[in-house]
Amino acid sequence: MNMTQSFDTGLMWFRRDLRVNDNAALQLALSRCRQLHCVFVFDEAILTGLPRADRRVEFIRESLVDLDAALRQLSGKAGAGLIVRHAMASEDIPRLAVQLEAQAVFAARDYEPQALARDEAVRQALAQVGCAFFTCKDQVIFEGRDILTQSGTPYGVFTPYKNNWLSRVAPEHLACHDSAALASQLSERPPEFQRPVPSLGAIGFEVTNLAGLKIPTGERGGHALYESFFERMDDYHTTRDFPAVKGPSYLGAHLRFGTVSIRQLVRSALQRQAAGSAGAAVWLSELVWRDFYFAILANFPHVANQAFKPEYDAIEWESGLHAEELFKAWCEGCTGYPLVDAAMAQLNQTGYMHNRLRMVAGSFLVKDLGIDWRRGERYFAEQLNDFDLSANNGGWQWVASSGCDAQPYFRIFNPVSQSEKFDPQGKFIRRYLPQLAKLSDKAIHAPWAAKPLELQMAGVVLGRDYPHPIVAHDEARTKTLQRYAMVKKSGPPTLQI
């Protein structure tokens, strides 16, 4: 069906784009429909496997309250708001389209394998009732095969991808999709749908510590974080690696659920970079990495459960009872390495982990403990507020050296030197491991190496207040090189970073 065709009634299906400003699918839907209804489905296919107290579900719920209010304000109609459902989306969207007598459904494209299968099922079901299904790009700047090598193949290395990306990006890729002029076409909801956004309890979930963590939600929350970061973007290149410093944008969850526009962020970064901002240039690279990992998942879908480099699937990881004990200690932040444990405490308590620490904690699991990277990937997927399959998978394959443009297998993070370099005064460690707070700035990075008197003065008994290291890093490094030798028979000497 022609993308320029007009429809009497349409249905806008919000998924990972929970905002009204600069929303490509919303603008497309309004431009094609005389009247438009808006829906979000709490998809049982996704929710069933989640813990009952999940910050992400609460983040979505609070963001929907914000979206519902924004839609009503945009339209100027009290009853225009958002229809919120709790069902199997693949079944409910076609059913709702029939109820509302919609001739077309619109949505922003989603790229994860489960989402692609869901959308294909929806497309087929809608076709059976004579309803069209349109999707458009919204959560990335370039998607799929937009950026290819000169030979017409997808990139597997980041730097040439980035260079091509930067050479290609143009104003039309970053144009703001403003719906204000078309907002009168947002329709009043039928009486049976005139209900507020359901509570967490109504969909079978519990309130979490989201509010206590002061994590802002919704489009307004995303905008506030963006405004805050814009003021310190110029310093990003010098602050981003230090977890005790307010360096990152903290926009991860907002990008994940679309409560901010990626186009707005890239526009800002390009503007600041053009003005000579080194911080903006580095942050822009991080946004390009995001597109890169989306493209990797789209063009090499096997990475969702296998190594990007197939030879790395032959590695023999630790197994058995001892491996389970090591993995449990890592999950619980009881490895005996303070920076790793503080990072895991931050993740478990808040659903957030600083990017530098994601690399350190990930490397420790894979290359100090010898645990399959997929186990760490799954744990992060359960815990991270900003979990995104493409980026999470890309990050874990990077630390495991099995992914595209990954760190070399012989590059093994030293958790102590990383701690000394990026948390030199132990401020981050003290925040999440208060039992070590009285140790000196030197001893806090490796308590087992502290003098007995210093431990005593700090009130720390190893094995009681804080665990002994569960592995010796130097021995683990040697074992990792042997483990990876089956993939790389020879290679450069070990790099300590």
Query: Which of 62, 396, 398, 414 is the catalytic position?
Result: 396
Is 373 one of the annotated active-site residues of the chain?
Answer: yes
How buried is 178 (Cβ within 10 angstroms: 0-12 exposed, 13-18 middle, 19+ buried)?
Answer: middle
C-alpha torsion sign, points 228, 230, 236, 240: positive
User: If you count DSSP H runs as helices and E runs as strands, how many of each does the chain have, helices first?
Assistant: 21, 7
Query: Which of 164, 373, 377, 398 is the catalytic position?
Result: 373
Could you tell me the CA-to-CA distances from 472 to 300, 336, 455, 469, 475 in Å, in that order? 36, 10, 20, 7, 5
Is 355 one of the annotated active-site residues of the chain?
Answer: yes
Yes or no: say if 25 and 17 are a contact pair by the CB < 8 Å rule. yes
Distance of CA 406 to the CA centre of its chain: 18
How buried is 126 (Cβ within 10 angstroms: 0-12 exposed, 13-18 middle, 19+ buried)?
Answer: buried
Distance of CA 487 to the CA centre of its chain: 30
Could you tell me the CA-to-CA distances from 443 to 33, 128, 333, 427, 448 in Å, in that order? 66, 68, 18, 13, 8
Is 448 one of the annotated active-site residues of the chain?
Answer: no
SS3 content of the chain, % helix, strand, coil (to 5): 55, 10, 40
Query: Which of 112, 318, 355, 420 is the catalytic position?
Result: 355
Distance of CA 293 to the CA centre of its chain: 11
**CA–CA separation, 200 and 56 (whole Å):** 11
**CA–CA separation, 23 and 466 (whole Å):** 49
Is 396 one of the annotated active-site residues of the chain?
Answer: yes
How buried is 188 (Cβ within 10 angstroms: 0-12 exposed, 13-18 middle, 19+ buried)?
Answer: middle
Residue with tokens 């104003």: 171
Query: Which of 112, 188, 286, 382 is the catalytic position?
Result: 286
CA-closest candidate to residue 473, choices 481, 485, 465: 481
Is 23 one of the annotated active-site residues of the chain?
Answer: no
Residues 6+ apart with CB under 8 A from 409: 401, 481, 484, 487, 488, 491
Yes or no: say if 194 and 208 are a contact pair by the CB < 8 Å rule. no
At 411, give phi and psi (nearest 5°).
-90, 115
Yes or no: say if 243 and 356 are a contact pair by the CB < 8 Å rule. yes
Query: Which of 13, 165, 283, 289 is the catalytic position?
Result: 289
Which sequence positions are flagged as catalytic?
A: 286, 289, 317, 355, 373, 396
